[in-house]
């Protein structure tokens, strides 16, 4: 027997616990908004589909619920069985399912505002590696949301995923955004919001709940291989740490929560800095140039309502510059910490001559120019 409504699961403590945790994030307001649910066929995403379906039925919501599955085809027949399982689940629930079979290609990445996993690096990555697979899923989910008029994209990341993500970022070196981990709600592009309603739930509870309501799921055996860094952290590093520090998962999650609060404040200041000191100018050849003001005295901008010394804070400037890249969709994937430091240095110590001159290049064929009281960023002219 498979149960759609938690009211029918009074004897299932795990399902009720999962439902309660889910409902603290996925409120009745969310029930009224169309949603695309990314479903791999694994336990976490299957549970998320059933939870959102139960919520829709509880509130009799007519809002769209679309189940989306991307078949990467990397595991042959196992990938096809995953797809079949998702199709069967959608048919059982009477919900539309959208399936896409992955074609190996390189396309421009879709970035979340809190996507430190995909910042930096060489940019030369194989289609079968982790970053490319994530980008393919995101493009597919955004496209599906556009086609079906859905504002929400629901993903089934759990607290375990959060702990693994934070440790991964710490081990390879990261900024404050990386330590903050994933957010429960994240804007993507302009019109969509990624929701992660299971982010406070442990993976063991999800599996126990599905077992109690006799809902099957698929196991991706490749997750047991440690050739990918995330799998290595999940399968080897975290288990080794838990033997000495059993509370490491909770500590990592708490670290992310604390840093997220600080990061939200920094982001707020950064966006206000962007509004006050960045403007867009069209060149004579219709190219777009961004002008960054480098004078921060009290009369520099009427839009800056804070102490003028805060406008010179490196963390605020860097966050404002990152927001600028996102707003104007500048190539950000290959921007490293060195690039951000260089750009911040130019803003704080600008060229003091009236004539504009080139002062360097940035990834994505962008040029930096400097003049008295301003730094400019625009396309390299051939």
8 in a known ligand binding site = no
Sheet holding 374-379, edge to edge: 278-282, 288-293, 374-379, 366-371, 357-362
286 in a known ligand binding site = no
d(CA 247, CA 194): 29
Reduced to 3 states (helix: H, G, I; strand: E, B; else coil), residue 293 is: strand
45 in a known ligand binding site = yes
- What does residue 163 show for φ and ψ, rounded to 5 degrees? -60, -45
d(CA 266, CA 355): 34
d(CA 190, CA 234): 33
d(CA 155, CA 182): 11
Instruction: Record the tokens describing residue 5, joined without a space.
Output: 């409504």
d(CA 368, CA 382): 15
Instruction: Record the tokens describing residue 149, joined without a space.
Output: 């008029």
120 in a known ligand binding site = no
359 C-beta neighbours (distance < 10 Å), count: 18
The per-residue DSSP string of 165-231 comes to: HHHHHHHH---HHHHH---SEEEETTTEEEE-TTTTS-HHHHHHHHHHTT------GGGG--SSHHH
42 in a known ligand binding site = yes
34 in a known ligand binding site = no
d(CA 80, CA 218): 11
Closest CA to 340 of 120, 165, 122: 120
Instruction: Record the tokens describing residue 214, joined without a space.
Output: 């006799």
Residues in the annotated binding site: 40-45
Binding residue positions for ATP = 40-45
């Amino acid at each position: 027997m498979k149960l759609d409504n938690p009211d029918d699961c009074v004897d299932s403590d795990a399902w009720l616990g999962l439902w309660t945790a889910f409902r603290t994030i996925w409120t009745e307001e969310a029930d009224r908004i169309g949603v695309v649910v990314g479903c791999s066929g694994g336990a976490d995403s299957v549970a998320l589909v059933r939870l959102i379906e139960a919520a829709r039925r509880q509130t009799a919501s007519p809002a769209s619920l679309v189940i989306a599955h991307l078949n990467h085809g990397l595991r042959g027949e196992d990938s096809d069985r995953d797809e079949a399982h998702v199709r069967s689940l959608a048919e059982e629930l009477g919900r539309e399912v959208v399936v896409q079979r992955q074609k190996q290609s390189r396309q421009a990445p879709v970035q979340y505002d809190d996507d430190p996993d995909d910042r930096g690096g060489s940019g030369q990555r194989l289609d079968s590696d982790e970053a490319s697979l994530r980008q393919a899923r995101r493009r597919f989910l955004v496209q599906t949301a556009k086609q079906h008029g859905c504002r929400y994209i629901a993903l089934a990341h759990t607290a375990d995923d959060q702990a693994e993500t934070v440790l991964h970022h710490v081990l390879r070196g990261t900024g404050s955004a990386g330590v903050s981990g994933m957010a429960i709600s994240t804007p993507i592009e302009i019109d969509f919001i990624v929701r992660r309603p299971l982010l406070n739930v442990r993976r063991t509870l999800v599996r126990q709940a599905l077992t109690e309501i006799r809902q099957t799921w698929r196991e991706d055996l490749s997750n047991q291989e440690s050739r990918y860094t995330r799998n290595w952290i999940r399968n080897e590093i975290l288990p080794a740490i838990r033997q000495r520090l059993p509370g490491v998962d909770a500590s990592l999650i708490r670290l992310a929560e604390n840093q997220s609060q600080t990061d939200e404040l920094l982001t707020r200041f950064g966006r206000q800095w962007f509004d006050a000191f960045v403007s867009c100018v069209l060149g004579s050849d219709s190219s777009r140039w961004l002008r960054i003001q480098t004078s921060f005295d009290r009369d520099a901008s009427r839009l800056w309502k804070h102490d003028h010394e805060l406008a010179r804070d490196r963390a605020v400037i860097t966050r404002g510059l990152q927001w600028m890249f996102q707003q104007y969709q500048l190539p950000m994937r290959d921007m490293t910490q060195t690039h951000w430091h260089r750009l911040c240095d130019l803003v704080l110590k600008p060229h003091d001559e009236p004539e504009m001159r080139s002062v360097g290049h940035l990834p994505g064929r962008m040029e930096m120019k400097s003049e008295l009281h301003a730094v400019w960023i625009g396309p390299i002219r051939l």
